[in-house]
Homo-oligomer: A and B are copies of this chain.
Amino acid sequence: MSVTDRLIAAAEQYAAGFDKGHLPLPPAAGVAILACMDARLNPYGLLGLSEGDAHIIRNAGGVVTADARRSLAISQRLLGTREIVLIHHTDCGMLTFTDDGFKRDIEAEVGIRPDWAAEAFPDLDEDVVQSLNRIKADPFIPHKDAVRGFVYEVETGRLREVKA
């Protein structure tokens, strides 16, 4: 039985007890979270969120990429969110490599160098500030009065704010 088969079995249990069929499309709390994909960072548990509350955008690093900015523009313009919460975390995989090394290894194996930035970063707090600055500089995200950045500590479960 594959992991995916186990997840499908869990989903059958979820459907059996499901009572949230009438939630509206726009997030009730009017907030979009952008967080790292890391397995130890559970935005629902951490932030007390449940179904219907918030848009949750995640990628490797919780980086403010063009795709994250696309998602934030759609979130605010079409679905009414007004606040943004950025979450990086300690012991992040993005701290363990460099773009140059990672892409050189891929090129050596595949024969093609990725046409994207890997977005590795050497300093957590600096990258949260970088993320805040990228959102400030984006012309397509309309609401920027409530954008805040945090580091989640995987060792302690604490969320620590980083100011730009």
Contacts and interface: CB of A to CB of B under 8 A. Distances in A.
A30 B57 CA distance: 20
B53 A39 contact: yes
Contacts of A37: 32, 55-57, 71, 75
Contact of A93 (B67, B78, B83): B78
Interface string A14-30: 11011011010111111
A157 B47 contact: no
Contacts of A110: 139-140
Q: How many copies does the complex hold?
A: 2
A108 interface: no
A73 B106 contact: yes
30 contacts: A3-B29, A4-B31, A4-B148, A7-B47, A7-B49, A10-B47, A14-B47, A14-B157, A15-B157, A18-B156, A20-B40, A21-B156, A23-B40, A25-B93, A38-B55, A39-B52, A40-B51, A40-B52, A42-B44, A57-B59, A59-B70, A65-B67, A66-B115, A70-B116, A73-B114, A74-B94, A78-B96, A78-B97, A110-B139, A112-B139
Going nearest first, the 6 A-B pairs with the smallest beta carbon separation are A18-B157, A10-B48, A67-B67, A27-B39, A11-B159, A60-B71
